[in-house]
Amino acid sequence: MPRIAANLGYLFTERPLIVRLGAAAAAGFKGVELQFPYDHAPSAIKAELTKHGLTQLGLNTIPGREGEFGFAAVPGRERDFEAAFKQALDYAVAIGGSAVHCLTGKVPVNERPAAERVFVANLTRAAELAQPQGITLLIEPINQRDRPDYFLNRVEQAADIIAKVGQPNVKIQFDFYHVQIASGDLLKRFEKHQPLIGHVQIGAVPSRHEPDEGEINYPEVFKALDRMDYPGWVACEYRPRARTEDGLGWARPYGVVPAGSR
């Protein structure tokens, strides 16, 4: 049975971030991932994680200015990525997290060869910094419909980048929502690249609502992950149709049960 985690950049957003941790625990989640928690002191986040017995997974490097979405593959922004990654690494270590998702940024088509070289060099340096801290670097293929010009779009591209970096703590964040839109053939792609997959996210296609509607048969996906002995977490990175709690019926068979219902 998959371990279901809450992405607190998407779920419980009617509450301040610091309150979402307790809300996630009350709803039955055992693990959480954050996106951009940097407005809060790490000690405050850590205290809430400890109070509610939550496992902290990953967080993201900062997106940058409006219209940007990271720097890791953007030529000329190497110093910006270095600073963003150090910030994320220090924060992840302070709150007991396990991963940093390195946002690549947007790159025009004509700059992609140079961007790949920058991305590989940046990830190589970052992985060397993260390895002694036990932190995994995650890179996520994101579909072009949602994020035009984002550098990393396909699982195969991510696998090629990881091979060029050559560091064991760089993994793919496999978001079934993005992969379905960009490529399809989900389970075959997952199986082929499973040794490189460090984290899984889910959301309905095309709506990005709860994973109980749309194109993807998530009960079958979860069965397949079990058959393939996927050991990690499955994080809910979707936009609830209404209140988060009202849409969690799909997750009860997978252990997400409100505290008062156990």
Residues labelled catalytic = 140, 237
Distance, in Å, from the CA atom of 117 to the CA atom of 124, rounded to the nearest integer, reads: 11
- Rounded CA Rg of the chain: 18
Distance, in Å, from the CA atom of 180 to the CA atom of 233, rounded to the nearest integer, reads: 19
Contact status, residue 207 vs residue 214, Cβ threshold 8 Å: yes
Contact status, residue 95 vs residue 44, Cβ threshold 8 Å: no
Q: How many CB atoms lie within 10 A of CB 209?
A: 17
- Beta carbons within 8 Å of 200's beta carbon, 6+ residues apart: 2, 173, 174, 175, 176, 225, 230, 232, 233, 234, 235
Q: What is the CB-side half-sphere exposure of residue 87 using CA atoms within 13 A?
A: 19
Distance, in Å, from the CA atom of 160 to the CA atom of 163, rounded to the nearest integer, reads: 5
Q: How many CB atoms lie within 10 A of CB 210?
A: 24
Distance, in Å, from the CA atom of 33 to the CA atom of 8, rounded to the nearest integer, reads: 6
